[in-house]
Chain A
């Protein structure tokens, strides 16, 4: 394993307790802000000292409370990309790149030239960070980080400082850079799409702990926890009670639903992604009579807010938690019977059994 982490840290009321391992791969720490993902990264880099636990990289111990080992960040060789890049404003591009090099003056010049070329910074050698665009700043920060020959790379929301149109291009550049890096990479993000595109595995974090850690495909297709479902963008979630082997009751929706697989005994919630809801057809399993509470148009889809049940008075049951959000592609919407529906009207939808997310 490239990186082994098992640490505890108390910060005021917040308690961090995380354990995970990273091979020579890319792991995303995915979670809402305040879940402890950045603190975890800072503990690994040695910026913050954990209260307890162990951090090891390639078998070398960086932190071990039991053995009273706590390497200085200088001795850890963790490449850290900061949210705002933290370029030294008083140094030129060249000087920034050279800042962390562990080389003699002659090899130094060669490596600077190499990094300048590799990160397309030709002509900017003598510029100061403030004279660079956001994308150029990120490239300098990456060049500086890699010039220090890190054993692992830690990325703290590297795109949060950029405009959305710049992100895509830089993300692809970053992927190319990381592909050439042999060690482990930990990537902190609150953006599920970004985490999916950039990483192999995803650790969903919630309330200072790793909620679930798995291959990214698995996390998205079958999140097993509430936090996993929420962070991967599941919009419809209800408390659930097991009623039979494949039979469950969705408390908030007031619906009895049939699952495609055996329901785990510790089921707490059930969820369904907004675009997995279907208009009622021949299949009558999990068909639900609903009333339309609201129709919202977005650039490429229509979002229909539904209130399950026959109850006539929408206003009285208009509790957002108990509603269903149904997302329909606009092209499909136009061909549907309900495209001229009005708020308050009844409609029948199906929650397909295979699409139900059974959550702990």
Chain B
């Protein structure tokens, strides 16, 4: 490994972490928003879930349309000197877009499972809505929030299609482990591809194992097993 350029690993981790922070807050926020919605819930939910079922290259295509120089939004961004296309920030957006539905859906599921009487009881006790969310709702959906966030993180680590569309595959700048594996195979460098595959497999496995232990610890003794 000594002669290996480890920049794809660093970029992958940086991109996945940043994307996870974004999806965590956005996922929890939008999930708690859609659960309360009366009308238009189905449509909004569909749109928010879409990145999960669309081919990642299609998601990347849409992101490219949005952030490219030919769009209004892209134009505005370049006028204030923000570049998204072919930058690591672009990779973050691509990874976040694709992994977002995993966080959103897991959190929403947990919110729907939560006994509504808990919130009602808290209200009749005079507890403010903000406090109810952080002291009653959030702690009780925490195991699902953790699970969704970790799933989102691993998905962001492995993102390929949308990333290569929006951020490209520039070694040392936007090349992640996934795109590095692709490049190595294209160049016929199988040993390098094997190494990156081993790295990404270990990270993903480790993350999921740690998540399971963490969830178990968080779950006892407050809940029925």
Contacts and interface: CB of A to CB of B under 8 A. Distances in A.
Interface of A: 42, 45-47, 72-80, 82-84, 86, 88-90, 99-100, 102, 128, 130-131, 144-145, 148
B81 to A, nearest CB: 46
A88 B124 contact: no
Contact of B124 (A46, A84, A102, A131): A46
Contacts of B36: none
Closest 3 CB pairs of A and B: A100-B125, A86-B121, A90-B139
5 contacts: A76-B124, A86-B121, A90-B136, A100-B124, A130-B221
B24 to A, nearest CB: 19
B222 interface: yes
Classify the secondary structure of B's interface with A: helix
Contact of A131 (B121, B126, B221): B221
B126 A77 contact: yes
Interface of B: 115, 117-118, 120-128, 135-136, 139-140, 221-224
Contacts of A83: 117
Nearest to A100: B125
Given A80-B121, A89-B140, A100-B124, 7 more contacts: A72-B123, A73-B120, A74-B123, A74-B124, A74-B127, A77-B126, A90-B140
A148 B123 CA distance: 11
Given A47-B124, A73-B123, A148-B125, A128 B221 contact: yes
A80 B119 CA distance: 12
Report which residue of B118, B128, B139 has the largest number of chain A beta carbons within 10 angstroms of its beta carbon. B118
Contact of B120 (A47, A75, A144): A47
Contact of B222 (A100, A102, A128, A145): A128
B52 to A, nearest CB: 29
Contacts of B139: 90
Report which residue of B124, B135, B136, B221 has the largest number of chain A beta carbons within 10 angstroms of its beta carbon. B124
Given A45-B124, A72-B123, A78-B124, A88 B221 contact: no
A144 B117 contact: no
Contacts of A99: 122, 125, 127, 135
B216 to A, nearest CB: 15
A237 to B, nearest CB: 36
Contacts of B121: 80, 82, 86, 88
